[in-house]
Amino acid sequence: MIQVLINKDKFKYDIHSLVKAFYPKEDVSVLTFDELSSKGDNENILFKIEIILEEEAGKISMKIIHSDGVCKEAETVCDIASNGVSGNEESAEVSSESSTNGSTASLSTPKNSLKQMMYRELSHEIGHELPWGSLTGIRPTRIPMQMLESGKNEAEIRKYMQETFFVSDEKTDLAYNIALREKKILDDINYENGYSIYLGIPFCPTTCLYCSFTSFPIVTWKKKVSDYISCLEKEIDYVAETFQGKVVNSVYIGGGTPTTLEPDEMTRLITYLREKLDLSECREFTVESGRPDSITREKLRAMKECGVDRISVNPQTMSDETLKRIGRKHTVEQFINAYNMAREEGFDNINMDIILGLPGETEADVEHTMQEIIKLNPDDLTVHSLSVKRGSRLAEHIRNNGFFVAGDTGRMMEIAKKGAAKMGLTPYYLYRQKNISGNLENTGYAREGKAGIYNILMMEEVQSIVALGAGTVTKRVYGDGRIERCDNVKDVTLYMNNIDDMIERKKSLFT
Ligand code: SF4
């Protein structure tokens, strides 16, 4: 265990994220000095870090104290005037990380100064750098994006990314090039007067080992699906009334696995949505058809007839052994059949998701997965690094069996990147997650003209996303960039029994 003690709890979350990035396998506990007496545990501590923030004096000092008593001290100065930063919100962190207008001449914010100092000390301590440097936010592309929008040039952006956050050349390239592509796509969309819709279908054929999404087995819920759709329709009615005069820029039906719906259920839902909302400027209609074991020709036809123009068919890996290990309950052959069927039914924008760092997988497995995917030639490939979510069966499995990543996720990422390039796909969006394998990122690659527009609108937070269904989160984006959220309960029965309350929550958010 690594214990971090701090005199103010303002930056607890940032400190935890950064220390955890350096020590992914260790438990990290961040406590205030006051909390130490009540919650602190002095047993089995690898080392302690003590941080004193003296914001009024513009000073931060830090001590690393090893269990053998060896102590290292450092101190830095910061810009108190830029002190109005909340340390606990990922999105707030992103905007604050980029809030210095790209200037590296002036002092950093207290948070950035603290993270810079910690980064230097920890990278020295552990003997290597992190690919994303001291950046721990989930949207690293927001920084180059905001700087591009404020007129900064490539050299200024690179300098800022590298000098302020110690981001590697490779990740700076990636973030900068993605920001350029996203900007080009966004410049072509009238998103200011629009919004996007997310519909959550929280049912799946079975539960994957690594899942932490809202997902319930369809067999148990089969008879309630019609009632669930009625609740979605109620939410759609609310949206139609509230967003009159606004256009929908993109629709994303996700989950769960939306293709657990029968063809008539899917048709009913999409037809209702189309009748009630203005989709005349809708640039993309995606249905995540993730699990191949939920796809049938009839379902594909129903979606096609309803105007769905982008789907996901996800292998995650092309190894039957791994699929079994992670509880996917489908085979590689089933995946290939489902994909080919979707092509036969005329889908010309198909995404595939793969996950790197799956239990027991090595670089050779990823090489094999990419070779098989290249043969199929999808339009869009999303490469995830496994993220171990608290509460997932995978987290429990790891607790019981130890950490079992067999390969190097960084090298796997390289293999996937080369494979994507071979298919003519370029990166167009990325995000990071907590506890992500190798402290890396998830990257979406796409063929020219096939980039997932919803993904970009959602990731760059340029417009409101109205989310319907159990376990979904609606995000209101204000003109000044401020963001407020409201969520629907995860439990399907509670969601259905309290549908009026779910709608009331949205009403309060949008008034
Ligand atoms: S398909 Fe997705 S949502 Fe369903 S159980 Fe697997 S990971 Fe979870």
Integer CA distances (angstroms), 321 to 318, 358, 366, 374, 406, in order: 9, 11, 13, 20, 14
Parts of the chain with a pLDDT under 70: 39-44, 80-107, 391, 402-406, 435-438
pLDDT at res. 111: 82
Furthest-apart CA atoms within the chain: distance in Å: 70
- Does residue 469 line the site of ligand 1, with CB under 6 A? no
Separation of 47 CA from ligand 1 center, angstroms?
A: 38
- Does residue 256 line the site of ligand 1, with CB under 6 A? yes
Helix (H) or strand (E) holding 19: helix 12-22
- Does residue 146 line the site of ligand 1, with CB under 6 A? no
In 188-326, which ranges are continuous DSSP H helix?
218-221, 225-242, 263-276, 297-305, 320-325
Give buried/exposed letters for 165-176 (b at 16+ CB in 10 A, else e).
bbbeeebbebbb
- Does residue 416 line the site of ligand 1, with CB under 6 A? no
Tell me 224's DSSP state. G
SS (H, E, C) 485-502: EEECCCCHHHHHHCHHHH
Distance CA 386, CA 405 (A): 10
CA-wise closest residue to 433 among 138, 2, 96, 54:
138
- Does residue 211 line the site of ligand 1, with CB under 6 A? yes
User: Which two structure tokens, joined as six digits, stand for 381?
Assistant: 């490939």
- For ligand 1, mutation pick of 287, 291, 490 (most atoms within 8 Å of CB): 291
pLDDT at res. 74: 84
Separation of 171 CA from ligand 1 center, angstroms?
A: 29
pLDDT at res. 42: 64
CA-wise closest residue to 435 among 371, 384, 496:
384
User: Which atom of ligand 1 sits closest to the CA of residue 206?
Assistant: 5
pLDDT at res. 288: 96
Find out whether 135 and 167 touch, Cβ atoms under 8 Å: yes
SS3 442: strand
Separation of 317 CA from ligand 1 center, angstroms?
A: 14
Distance CA 511, CA 492 (A): 26
User: Which atom of ligand 1 sits closest to the CA of residue 214?
Assistant: 3
Mean pLDDT of the chain: 88
pLDDT at res. 404: 64
pLDDT at res. 402: 66
CA-wise closest residue to 50 among 41, 58, 39, 36:
36
User: Which two structure tokens, joined as six digits, stand for 505?
Assistant: 């929550």
Find out whether 322 and 359 touch, Cβ atoms under 8 Å: yes
Domains of the chain: 2-167 (no CATH), 194-473 (3.80.30.20)
- Does residue 208 line the site of ligand 1, with CB under 6 A? yes
Dihedrals phi, psi of 354, to nearest 5 degrees: -125, 155
- Does residue 292 line the site of ligand 1, with CB under 6 A? no
- Does residue 358 line the site of ligand 1, with CB under 6 A? no
Could you report the per-residue pLDDT of 146-204, keeping only the tens digit for each?
Answer: 899 899 999 999 999 999 999 999 999 999 999 999 999 999 999 998 999 999 999 99
pLDDT at res. 86: 36
